[in-house]
Amino acid sequence: MIKKKDHITPPKFAQKVLKCCLKNELLEEIEGDLEEKYQVVFDKHGAKRAKRNYWLQVAHYMRPFAVKKTRLKLPKTTAMHRHYLKISWRNLLRDKVFSTIKIGGFAIGIAACILISLYINHELSYDKHYEEGERIFRIANSYQSEEYSDLWANLHGPFKPVLEEYIPEIESVSRVVLWRWGNVGENHIRLPDSPNNIYESGFFYADPELLEILEIPMVYGSQKEALDMPNSIVISKSKAAKYFPNQNPVGEQIVLNDDTENAYTIGGVMEDFLTTSHLQGDFIMTLKGRKTGPGTSGWCCTNYNFYIKVVPNADKAALEQKLVDIRDTYVINELKEAGQTGTDDIQKHQTFYLQPVDKIYLNRENVADNMKHGTHDLIWIFGGVALTILLLAALNFINLSTAKSVKRAKEVGLRKVVGSHRSGLIVQHLTESSFYSILSVAIGACIAWAFLPTFNHVAAQSISIPWTSYWFIPTLFAAALLIGFLSGVYPAFYLSKFNPIQVLKGNVTKGVRASFFRNSMVVFQFTVTVVLIISALVSQKQFQHFMTRSLGFEKEQVINVLGLNGLNENERQVMKEEMLRIPTIEYATLGDYIPVEGGRRTNFGFDLLKDKGLNQGFEAARWAIDEDYLATMSMDLIEGRNFNKEMADENSIIINESMAQGFNLEDPIDVQVVDMFDGNYRIIGVVKDFYFESLTGTVRPLAMVLGDGREILSLKVDASNVEQTLSSIQNVWDTFKPNQPLRYSFMDQKFEQMYEGLTQAKTLLVIFSILSVTIACLGLFALSAYSVEQRIKEVSVRKVLGATAERIFKLLATDFIKLILIAIIIAIPVGYYLMDMLLGDMANRIDLSWSIFGFAALLAFTIALITVSFESIKAATINPATRLRSE
């Protein structure tokens, strides 16, 4: 019976909630109604349903008309902090302009810091997603001698079976071909039953093991078998959806460049590469069974990047030494038989370096490869800029807080008189600074979210704010508390030290320190600001120097027609002749080796014939060009002659000045040279050095042999009517490839693409410099406004006594102008030192002329003067009667 009664009784805790919260005049009636409803529901549906329904009814009555109007009793500390927050809110509203500047400047600094932090986190997160990343490496060659040192990632193809047979510590190994060879890079793709070609990029070769080594997840097919058959290919999920929507494409075929005899069979579909993977692509072609080009069995070429996965707990240093031992034991003889010169030098100076996979993207070791890399120095620079902007914003907060000390002085004095301890005052001001900091961080996060699309566009990134990540909001909150504490600790101790007797007598300055610390912070802020302005100006001038420097060839008025690899050799020659019939086309050349981004690159070892076998020679770029290449590119032939097909120039070679200097040849014409494949050439000409790689380096040696390209037709055009020229080019193209859209590029635009990273860094640096100037000027404006406010009665008296507006302006502005001049004097040598260190030994660096520093100083001074003048001029022109009326 007791048990049954307990079931019928409504939940006791719910009844207590009713008695605690409901008004007494309503409690008895509502309680009775709810008990009756409970009994009804209990009889029909049971105790569980009745209890749930009772709780819902209790929640229904928790409304303003029914709830008691009682004040919640808080613990003493909680009530105290709530009081401090109220005071903080009232102070914020009391002086809206001052608070807006303080919080707004802080928010801008935090927004910039958030964006830069997200950028840095994105750059540092490359290749961190591998579950067994500590076991994945890329093999690189390391050459170290007294005269020369280098690291590069390319090895010989037949090295793979040697590693698999003789080094058990290597669990699996895969070669990857990323250089422009075979079908690597860009192709035109179509399905066998479709006549229309579609341009695609992101093709590279790899062994089947790569899918397992890099833990590439598969949508269709398996990692072990997807690339196991000759002429198989793995495509990305996005490309599978494009060409085979809503179906499994494994087993289907695709045709590259109309080569139907060598169609590729899809062996699998992989997930798209993460944006934080150093290796990018949509099409992986197998190296298995390939008989020509990449994947051959000879020791001639070093076109292969080697990725390995080692056994757990493998000793990296021991493995690197074992690679050297295996090379000396098994490989060196193969190289000698293949005609490799300088094998003794290889054994003496060349070793191997295992580069961890998560170090490839930033590539601090500068391993030469054919990949896009981040810049480690840029991360440090942007990290320093972020901390600098945040520091400027925090100094603004401190400066403005201490500047308001006169208005807060009586408050502090009264609190001390009525018994407040210094510790309580410190807690109050730290609570206030933390409140402002949390508010600033919240606003800053919103600003960062609003400007993130613009930031992504400028930085060419795809960064997103990780709102849902478990760490993001707590990190922001912790950062807000930390920043609030650090920025508020000095004002808290500073204000709490006021002498109450002196303060209440009105002698505030006797109860506080002098303004030396505040002035020092103003000087520091503008010193940093001027240094950032100098950095932005130097980067802009260096960039302009790159864009306008003479390159040794004419990049303007050259159009590159792309995608000729679907034509045979005869068709390409006929197309070239047809293009030359267009009146506005002056020259045409078939050549894949163009001196800008997108051109093919090949490196060979060369030596003088008379010195063959005596040393290792040196490496030079090797290009195949036709007889019209130099004229089309407007390159200067300074010695000898050009190629001529009628003169049997198949064994002739044209070199650049750097290669002649490398051979120490004063008269290079008719000198015999030999390449690493025992090809003998006679030098027939020397071309003036031209830049075909980054302007930050020197011109490398270059050898040009006679040959035709299979992908690019470059046209030198008259710029008077480009639209008509393009229309004529389209008409010629359509006669040869009506099933394939015309693709072309302007060489000057391709040249600019080579410096996209520099452009992005320069733009971001300019933006952050503007932000730092804005933050510094906000603080300066607020300080000058407050200074004017404190001296307004003095100004009014001086005006009554006959002071001119000019004299009043000098009186108010002189102190701030002195601080700015001190900052400029400090900033110029600091900026010079930093910029000289940053540019270092870079080739084609600009001279750091004093005009840059003078302009930066003048710009900073002008901005600061305008900022200070606004309030000073306003005070100098007011009617003194309005201020002295109450005196």
Question: How far is Cα 433 from Cα 488, in angstroms, rounded to an integer?
Answer: 5
Residue type for position 282: D
Three-state SS string across 539-608, please?
HHHHHHHHHHCCCCCCCCCEEEEECHHHCCHHHHHHHHHHHHCCCCEEEEEECCCCCCCCCCCCEEEEEE
Residue type for position 390: L
Q: Which tops the pLDDT comparison, 372 or 203?
A: 203
Residues in Cβ contact with 841 at an 8 Å cutoff, skipping those fewer than 6 apart: none
Q: Considering the entire predicted model, what is its pTM?
A: 0.79
- pLDDT tens column, 98-153: 788 888 888 988 999 999 999 999 999 999 999 999 999 999 999 888 777 888 89
Residue with tokens 């303007």: 556
The pair phi, psi for residue 624, each rounded to 5°, is: -105, 120
For residue 478, what is the DSSP state? H
Output the six-digit token pair for 332: 């060196």
- pLDDT tens column, 70-103: 554 444 556 676 777 787 787 777 778 778 888 8
Question: How far is Cα 686 from Cα 654, in angstroms, rounded to an integer?
Answer: 6
Question: How far is Cα 233 from Cα 244, in angstroms, rounded to an integer?
Answer: 15
- pLDDT tens column, 2-15: 344 445 778 888 88
Q: How far is CA 163 from CA 214, 487, 809, 863, in A?
A: 18, 58, 80, 65
**Which of 169-173, 353-357, 855-859, 878-882 has the least mean pLDDT?**
878-882
pLDDT of residue 501: 67
Question: How far is Cα 682 from Cα 680, in angstroms, rounded to an integer?
Answer: 7
Return the closest-CA partner of residue 350 out of 612, 148, 191, 517.
Answer: 148
pLDDT of residue 604: 82
Please say whether the beta carbons of 787 and 812 come within 8 A: yes
Return the closest-CA partner of residue 284 out of 275, 271, 297, 302.
Answer: 271
Question: How far is Cα 150 from Cα 353, in angstroms, rounded to an integer?
Answer: 11
- pLDDT tens column, 761-810: 888 888 888 888 888 888 788 778 777 777 777 888 887 888 887 888 88
Query: Sheet harboring 712-717: ordered strands across?
Result: 585-590, 712-717, 558-562, 743-746
Residues in Cβ contact with 98 at an 8 Å cutoff, skipping those fewer than 6 apart: 400, 404, 782, 785, 786
Is 177 strand, coil or helix? Answer: strand
How is 288-335 classified by DSSP, letter by letter?
TT--SSTT-S-SS---EEEEEEEPTT--HHHHHHHHHHHIIIIIHHHH
The pair phi, psi for residue 598, each rounded to 5°, is: 105, -10
Return the closest-CA partner of residue 152 out of 166, 138, 132.
Answer: 138
